[in-house]
Chains A and B, each alone.
Chain A
Amino acid sequence: MCLSKVKTMEELFCLSENLKGLLDIKKGKANIAGTMEISVCGGTGCHASQSAKLKDELVRFAKQYGVEEKVKISITGCFGFCEKGPIVKISPDHTFYTKVHPEDAERIIKEHIVEGKIVEDLLYVNPLNHERILSQDQIPFYKKQHRVALRNCGLINPENIQEYIANRGFLALAKVLKDYRPDQVIDEVKKSGLRGRGGGGFNTGLKWEFASKYQSEKKYVICNADEGDPGAFMDRSILEGDPFSVIEAMIIAGYAIGADEGNVYIRAEYPLAIERLTIAIKQARQMGFLGENILGTNFCFDIFIKYGAGAFVCGEETALISSIEGNRGEPVVKPPFPAEAGLYQKPTIVNNVETLANIPVIILDGAEEFAKIGTEKSKGTKVFALAGKINNVGLVEVPMGITLREIIYDIGGGIKDDHEFKAAQTGGPSGGCITKDHLDIPIDFDNLSSIGSMMGSGGLIIMDDRNCMVDIAKFYLEFTVEESCGKCTPCRIGNKRLLEILTKITEGKATMDDLNRLEELSNIIKDTSLCGLGQSAPNPVLSTLHYFYDEYLAHIQKKYCPAHVCKALAKYQIDEKICIGCGKCAKNCPVNVIEKTDKPAKNPKLFVYKIQQENCIKCGTCAKNCPMKAIVLL
C-alpha cells in the first residue's frame, strides 16, 4: 500500500471525503457494477479454525470462475460470534455464513457470487424455531447489542488504514487539534462519564486531569493490553479488529495531558494482535498521524510496543510500569499514583484498551450523546467475553444496565445442552459470582459491587449445575497463588494457606474449623495485601462461600460433591437391581477392587458385583465397560 503523508487538517478532511465510498458495499449500499465483498473473520478463534486458508481458497476460486473483478475478498476483525466461526459475511446483502470451512469456498463463489443463490446449509439456524437466518442483523445474538467500542470490528480490514479513515477515522484527532485546548478535551471526557474498563472503573477524564496538572517536560500514555483475566478476550479482539481506534485515542490522550510518547503493553500470548498493531502503527507513522508535527500542528507523539512475558500481576498499573522499565513486575505502594510519578518517575496515565476505544466516539459524537447510553453512574457500553457453559460463546457489547438474563438467554442463546444456570463469574480471579437470584438486576459497576462481584475487565464465565463452586474457587486460588509476585506476605503465604484449605475441602478431609478459618483468613488477606492482586484474590472464595455455603457444607459434612466434580469425593456404585453379574467391570478394573458378592443377580446362576470403595481410584473404567449401565457416579 502506498501511503503518503497527510500534512494538514484540510488534507485529512479531503481524504476522508474521498475514501468515504470505500466501505459503501460493506455497509450495504449496492453499486451499479454489482460489486460484492466477502469479509472473512480473521480473529484468533476463526484464525485457529483455518480462516486464512479459507480466504486463500475463496481468492483462488474467484479467479477460477473469472469473478475476481466482481468480488473483493478481505480479512476483517472479530465478528464476536466465535462459537459459530469461521464467519463469512457477504455484502452488500449482508448474508451471514457460519462454520465455514476451506472446502466450502468453491460453493460460496460458484453459487452465491456467480449464480446469485444463497448457500442454504451455511446459514445460521435459529435454535428456537430451527429456521435459517439470512442476514446478520436478524440473528438474535446481535439484536440486543450496541456496538461502540467494537464499531469497526468485523467491518474494516484491520491492516488497512484507509478503511479506518473511511469510517470517520482520525477525525476525532483532527477535531481535538483544531478546536479544543487540552483542558477542553479533558472536560469532554469527564462529561461523558466514561469509567475505566480495565477493572477499577475509575473516571477516565479525572485520571487525565490529574496527570495534566503535573508539570514535566516528559509524560507518558500507556495502553494496558495485558488482559490477564484468563477467559477474557475483549482487548485482544479490539486490537486485532480495530487497532487504529486505540492508536487515535492514545494520541488524543497525549494531547490532553501533554505527553509525547505512548507505550502499548501487550501480552506475548497474543501474536496476532501484536502483528496487527505493529502494522497499524507503521501505517499511522507513514501517514503522519504519529511522529512530528501531527496534521501540521506543533504536536508530536509516537507509540511503541512493549511486551509482557506471562505475569498476571503486570496488569496492575505499577507492576506494569516496572515491567516496561525492564524489571521484575512487582507492584509498589500507591501513592504516589502514576499520574504523578509513573514510567521513569514521570507523570503517566494507564488506560485499558477498551476504555481508549471509546474515546474517538466521545469526541466525535459529543459527551452528551455518549452519556445517553447506560445507567446513571455507569455510562456507555461494556464488552463482555461470554464463555463457559453457554451456547453462543463470543464477544458481546451491550449497554450498561442490561440484565444478566438478557445476556445469557437472549444474546447467549441459553445454557449448553439445556442444563440449568448456576452462576456467572465476572472479574475473573479478582471477582465474584452472580447467581440465579441476580439474573434481573441491571448490570453496572455499582450494582455488581453491591452483590459482592465486580465489573472486572469483562470476562463473563457462565457455569451450570455441572460445575462445583468449591472447585471453581480452588481453580481461581491456584491461579492467584501461581501468579502472586511474592513481594508481600499476606498474598504470598496467605493465599497458599487458603488454597490448602480449599484442597482439603474438595478431598473431603476438612472440618468445620477449616471453614471458619477460610473466611477469617480471606478477610485478613483482603485487608493487608500490598496490591490489587492480593486484595482481591480471596473474592472468589468469599463470594462462593456467601452464595453456595450449602455446597461447602456438603463437601465437609456429607463428604459429597453435589456437582460430582470433586474426584476424591466421587463414588462409583453398582446398582444391584440392574447388575446382571457378567463381571466385565471386575475384569477391566485396573486396581482390582471389584469383587463378586454372594447375592444372586438377575440371572440366578450369576452374582452381583460390588466396588470396594477404599482402594477405588475413581477412574470410571467400570462404568464405561458395563453393558447394562448399572454403575453410577454418586
Chain B
Amino acid sequence: MENDKKKFDELDEYIKTIHATEHELIAVLHRAQHILSYLPREVQEFIADRLQIPVSKVYGVVTFYSFFTMEKKGKYVINVCLGTACFVRGADKIMKAFEDRLGIKNGETTPDGKFTLSSLRCVGACGLAPVVQVNGKTYGNATIETVEQILKEYEGE
C-alpha cells in the first residue's frame, strides 16, 4: 500500500474539496473504492483519521453495504445479475456455469487474480435478462454459450 501514496493523496484532496464531515462518509468511501479498488484496513484508518471519527464507525459502514469490499478483486469482475427478472429466466444456471468453469464460488477470486465472480441484484436491464456484466460491460440474453464466449474474450488478455 505504500506505493499507493499518490492514490491516498488523491483521496485526501477529494476529502478536502468537499469539506467532508462524518456525514459524507459514504461518499468518501465510494471515492476511495473508486481510486483504490478496495477498502483494506489502512484505507479505513486513513479515512477515520481525516474525518475525525472512530475506525469502528468506518468499519461498521463498510461492512453494512454490499457495494463496499475489503478484499482485492480480480482484474475482471464478472457480475451475474440475480435479480428476479434474471432469476426467472435462468440466471442461477449461468452462475453455476461460471462457477464450474472457473472452479470458484460466487464471491471468490481465481488464484491467478484474473477473475472475481460475484452477483448483483438487478442492473435495470431486465429486458435483456439474464444479464452478466464484466467490468461494467453488459452482456444480455446470456446462455451457457455466452459464458464460454465471455471467458474466451478475457482469458486471452
Where the two chains meet, the residues of A that have a C-beta atom closer than 8 Å to any C-beta of B are 44-45, 47-49, 82-83, 85, 227-233, 236-237, 268-271, 273, 306-312, 323-330, 385, 387-389, 393-394, 425, 428, 459, 461, 463, 467, 472, 475-476, 479, 485
Contacts and interface: CB of A to CB of B under 8 A. Distances in A.
Interface in B64-88: 64-68, 82-88
A45 B122 CA distance: 12
Interface string B105-148: 00000000000000011111111110100001010100000000
B83 A231 contact: yes
B156 interface: no
Contacts of B66: 309-311
Contacts of A268: 30, 67
B138 A387 contact: no
B85 A269 contact: no
Contacts of B87: 231, 475
B95 interface: no
Contacts of B120: 269
B89 A233 contact: no
Given A309-B65, A326-B22, A48 B128 contact: yes
28 contacts: A45-B128, A49-B128, A82-B128, A227-B124, A229-B122, A230-B82, A231-B85, A231-B126, A233-B122, A268-B67, A269-B123, A269-B124, A271-B136, A306-B27, A307-B26, A307-B27, A309-B26, A309-B29, A323-B26, A324-B23, A327-B61, A330-B64, A387-B88, A387-B126, A388-B85, A428-B84, A463-B88, A479-B121
A45 B136 CA distance: 13
Contacts of A85: 127
B141 to A, nearest CB: 9
Interface in B86-110: 86-89
Contact of B25 (A269, A326, A428, A476): A326
A459 B126 CA distance: 11
Contacts of A387: 84-85, 88, 126-127, 129
Contacts of B131: 48
Q: Which 9 A-B pairs have the closest CB atoms?
A: A82-B127, A231-B84, A230-B83, A309-B65, A48-B138, A387-B85, A310-B67, A326-B25, A309-B67
B126 A485 contact: no
B82 to A, nearest CB: 8
B65 A230 contact: no
Contacts of B24: 326
Contacts of B123: 44, 269
Contacts of B88: 387-389, 461, 463, 467, 472
A44 B85 contact: no
Contacts of A45: 124-128, 140
Which of A228, A311, A387 gathers most chain B CB within 10 Å?
A387
Contacts of B22: 326
Contact of B126 (A330, A393, A463): A393
A309 B68 contact: yes
A507 to B, nearest CB: 15
A48 B23 contact: no
Given A388-B85, A463-B88, A232 B122 contact: yes
Contacts of B65: 308-311, 329
A306 B26 CA distance: 9
B125 to A, nearest CB: 5
A230 B61 contact: no
Given A326-B22, A326-B26, 4 more contacts: A45-B125, A48-B128, A48-B131, A227-B124
A266 to B, nearest CB: 12
Given A326-B23, A326-B25, A329-B64, A309 B124 contact: no
Contacts of A475: 84, 87
Contacts of B122: 229-233, 269
B140 A328 contact: no
A326 B15 CA distance: 14
B23 A325 contact: yes
Contacts of B129: 387, 393
Contacts of A44: 123-125
Given A268-B67, A393-B129, A461 B140 contact: no
Given A393-B129, A394-B127, A459 B64 contact: no
A186 B94 CA distance: 50
A85 B124 CA distance: 14
A323 B121 CA distance: 19
Which of A229, A309, A394, A467 gathers most chain B CB within 10 Å?
A309
A629 to B, nearest CB: 19
A309 B30 contact: yes
A463 B85 CA distance: 10
